Amino acid sequence: MFEVLADLQADSIDSISGLNTNEPVHPSLTSLNPFLGNSKTPALGLVDNFSDLNINSLTDISLIYPVEEAGCLVEDQLTRFATQPEFYDQFGLAFGENYNQEIAESIRQSLAQGDFSQLPKVEIISSDILGNANGAYANSVQTIFLSDQFVKTHNIEEIAGVLTEEIGHYIDSQINRFDAAGDEGDIFSHLVQGKLLPDEKLALLKLEDDSGVITVGGQNILIEKSQSSDLNGDRRDDLVLRAPDGNIDGWLLNSQGKATSPHRIGFADNSWSVVGIGDLNGDGRDDLVLRAPDGNIDGWLLNSQGKATSPHRIGFADNSWSVVGIGDLNGDGRDDLVLRAPDGNIDGWLLNSQGKATSPHRIGFADNSWSVVGIGDLNGDGRDDLVLRAPDGNIDGWLLNSQGKATSPHRIGFADNSWSVVGIGDLNGDGRDDLVLRAPDGNIDGWLLNSQGKATSPHRIGFADNSWSVVGESGYYRELSSLTDNDWNYQSRDNLFFDGNLQNGESLASVKQIYSDLSNGIFGSYKVMTAGYKDTTNYDGIHYGIDMGSTAGNTVKTVIGGTATLIQNISGNYFIGIKGDDGNLWIYGHLKNYTNGIVGKRVEAGSIIGTVFDGASYQGYWMYPHTHLEVHKGHNYNQANSISPLQAYWKWRNR
């Protein structure tokens, strides 16, 4: 039987507050409140209701009984699980293949014989202490914690599910030197209870980053959370969706993984874009990060119902800066922001306990030909690091120190540009995040990283037809993956969609940010769009590119490297093409002049290829200085193969 205790008595406080800060706690546990150590509340008494259970209660004593009943159910399920022929096949799904087999067999034999004496004790504690968390496992004190509010509001099977998950975290701590990949406790709970675990659900759990930090007795302790995007604290991941009118809803999932009725998280005008999701204040719940067209960045902290409280201002960054990632840069249990300037500088915004940014710090610099393709803990030190990719296919890691600053980059590996980095997560349970890459034919490979953050030889994860997308993939505005070519054409078609006037319609905020990034890459500053792709407002006929308002003499840079070619040879009104590394022909039109010697030669991204022309008379009207940008599929000039430059740039950034 389990040893069940309801809340913490004074003589147990010392063992909690004395937790080793290097020991992992495996929960849903958010924070243990130090005020417990000064509690003067008398114990409700010792109760000996069930054979060998020793119950010490500072909370509702009746909660002992449902926990005891759930414990009996868990014991029965564990015994049946330990005696089934496929035990080790399923065991490996949860805990990887590198666990201590001798200890694992000892645990299996004990469970099969109905001997549960080695399992950790269970303590029911106040939900005020656990916050939105349902349960947690602390290895240093060999204890499973349960929230009293969770026990009050859930049935026996659901309580048993949390108990089994935390037992899974306990087993993992016994057999693995490093925490197994993803949420091993949740995987173990599914398997023990005989619940369906589809491949896509297993893949998500394997990639889940369930680490965090709690505060016990004034000390920070590394924890493992049982969910990564749980909007209401029921231990199940939920979905966030946004409507065209700006409403943002949460879809809470039930125990079958099906959505219950949606609830309104909040509303933001479509001029605001959702730029990330992460735990901004360290309470164990993921929050939303939104950005306004004026550059303000707000945080929406979610409550225990998964609803947004009033927004707070995280900070401000000029729109020439892009939010390129969210992750815990300094290992304090709170996710931070990573922003990039048009000149290539990359800054970190460390967030405080209110989810507000302190002063930015410089992480490092990378030429704009390099893209930030992901954020993850590459060397297992509890801090997220940056992954960048060069136009030639090289992939580098930037390991961050305790101040969130990059040490010298190291080469992770190389992949042909036809391969895309589609995800980052711990694939083999060694405590280090690995890379997931996808080939154009649909094959998906894993790059396991060693203790130096360098890739060993790739392995084949599997294959999926390219009509399927990798869910949860990292990268540059990946939420736009669902857009079709027609969608991109519509989003890019009208310069009025980019002017901030809601009366004439607006493109998605993320698409507008892509245009801003593209403009900064070409000119080093934001230039107003004056005509859209296949524009229906300011252009007669078919406009096969976009026009970017600029001043005569402005320098024009190529955003993608490749071989330069001369498309139009008219003095003072040249068109230069770049046979780009992305397989497309990028055409920069209306150049007063072009850089000597570049035609037929390779130019790198960020290279100056010419300057903006002075204007010209065209079919009876005056063309003011501007730059025409056109992109064709393939390296041959063929306007029938044109695509939206915004779509092409987005694809390149997600290569």
Residues 215-224 have pLDDT tens digits of: 333 433 343 4
Chain-centroid distance of CA 145 in Å reads 28
pLDDT computed for residue 511 by the predictor: 85
First to last CA, the chain: 54
- Cα–Cα distances (Å) from 417 to 154, 440, 526, 540, 583, in that order, read 50, 10, 28, 37, 10
Amino acid 411 reads R
- Cα–Cα distances (Å) from 591 to 34, 44, 186, 461, 588, in that order, read 67, 83, 59, 47, 8
495-513 pLDDT, tens digit per residue, is 888 877 767 777 887 788 7
The contacts of residue 391 (CB under 8 Å, 6+ apart) are 369, 370, 417, 560, 561, 581, 604, 605
- State phi, psi for 636 to the nearest 5 degrees: -105, 145
With beta carbons less than 8 A apart as the criterion, state whether 336 and 326 touch: yes
pLDDT computed for residue 586 by the predictor: 97
The first and second tokens of residue 308, run together, are 């947004």
Distance CA 533, CA 244 (A): 21
Per cent of the chain over pLDDT 90 is 21
Distance CA 337, CA 289 (A): 9
- Convert 147-179 to b/e letters by CB count within 10 Å (16 or more is b): bbbbbeebebebbbbbbbbbbbbbbbbbbbeeb
pLDDT computed for residue 322 by the predictor: 82
| pLDDT at 483 > cutoff 90 | no
96-120 pLDDT, tens digit per residue, is 877 888 888 999 999 999 888 888 8
| pLDDT at 468 > cutoff 60 | yes
Distance CA 282, CA 584 (A): 44
DSSP one-letter code for 53: -
298 or 487, higher pLDDT: 298
pLDDT computed for residue 549 by the predictor: 92
Q: What is the mean pLDDT of residues 301-312?
A: 83
271-295 pLDDT, tens digit per residue, is 787 877 888 887 767 888 888 878 8
Distance CA 482, CA 136 (A): 37
Distance CA 438, CA 401 (A): 30
With beta carbons less than 8 A apart as the criterion, state whether 107 and 168 touch: no
| pLDDT at 599 > cutoff 80 | yes
164-218 pLDDT, tens digit per residue, is 988 988 898 888 765 555 567 788 888 888 876 665 555 555 545 444 443 333 4
- Cα–Cα distances (Å) from 552 to 62, 549, 572, 625, in that order, read 79, 10, 11, 6
The contacts of residue 79 (CB under 8 Å, 6+ apart) are 111, 112, 114
Q: At what angle do helices 485-492 and 645-653 cross, to 10 degrees?
A: 120
Domain boundaries defined on the chain: 46-221, 228-363, 366-468, 485-654
Tokens 């310069």 map to which residue?
495
Query: Can you count the helices (H) and strands (E) in the chain?
Result: 12, 40
The C-alpha angle with vertex 205 and arms to 203 and 211, in degrees rounded to 5, equals 140
Q: How confident is the model at residue 349 (pLDDT cuts 50, 70, 90)?
A: very high
pLDDT computed for residue 356 by the predictor: 87
pLDDT computed for residue 470 by the predictor: 64
| pLDDT at 548 > cutoff 90 | yes
Average pLDDT score, the chain: 77
pLDDT computed for residue 50 by the predictor: 44
Q: Which helix (H) or strand (E) holds 42?
A: none
| pLDDT at 436 > cutoff 80 | yes
Gyration radius (Cα) of the chain, Å? 28
pLDDT computed for residue 247 by the predictor: 83
pLDDT computed for residue 150 by the predictor: 83
485-654: which CATH architecture?
A: Distorted Sandwich (2.70)
| pLDDT at 45 > cutoff 80 | no
What burial class does residue 297 get, using C-beta atoms within 10 Å of its C-beta: 0-12 exposed, 13-18 middle, 19+ buried?
A: buried
pLDDT computed for residue 189 by the predictor: 85
Q: What is the mean pLDDT of residues 519-526?
A: 86
Distance CA 135, CA 122 (A): 10
Distance CA 427, CA 204 (A): 11
The first and second tokens of residue 394, run together, are 């090289």
Q: Which of 523-532, 567-576, 592-601 is the least confident region?
A: 523-532
The first and second tokens of residue 111, run together, are 């469970």
| pLDDT at 57 > cutoff 90 | no
pLDDT computed for residue 56 by the predictor: 53
| pLDDT at 245 > cutoff 50 | yes
Model confidence, pTM: 0.49
With beta carbons less than 8 A apart as the criterion, state whether 623 and 616 touch: yes
- Three-state DSSP class for residue 617: strand
pLDDT computed for residue 204 by the predictor: 53
pLDDT computed for residue 497 by the predictor: 83
With beta carbons less than 8 A apart as the criterion, state whether 302 and 231 touch: yes
624-655 pLDDT, tens digit per residue, is 999 999 999 999 999 999 999 999 998 887 76
pLDDT computed for residue 124 by the predictor: 86
Amino acid 593 reads N
With beta carbons less than 8 A apart as the criterion, state whether 628 and 590 touch: yes
The closest alpha carbon to 479, from 259, 619, 275, 653, belongs to 275
The first and second tokens of residue 463, run together, are 């294959």
Tokens 């269970």 map to which residue?
122
- Cα–Cα distances (Å) from 220 to 66, 97, 332, 574, in that order, read 32, 31, 8, 62
DSSP one-letter code for 304: T
Highest mean pLDDT among 75-84, 219-228, 353-362: 75-84
Amino acid 579 reads K
536 or 365, higher pLDDT: 365
With beta carbons less than 8 A apart as the criterion, state whether 527 and 549 touch: yes
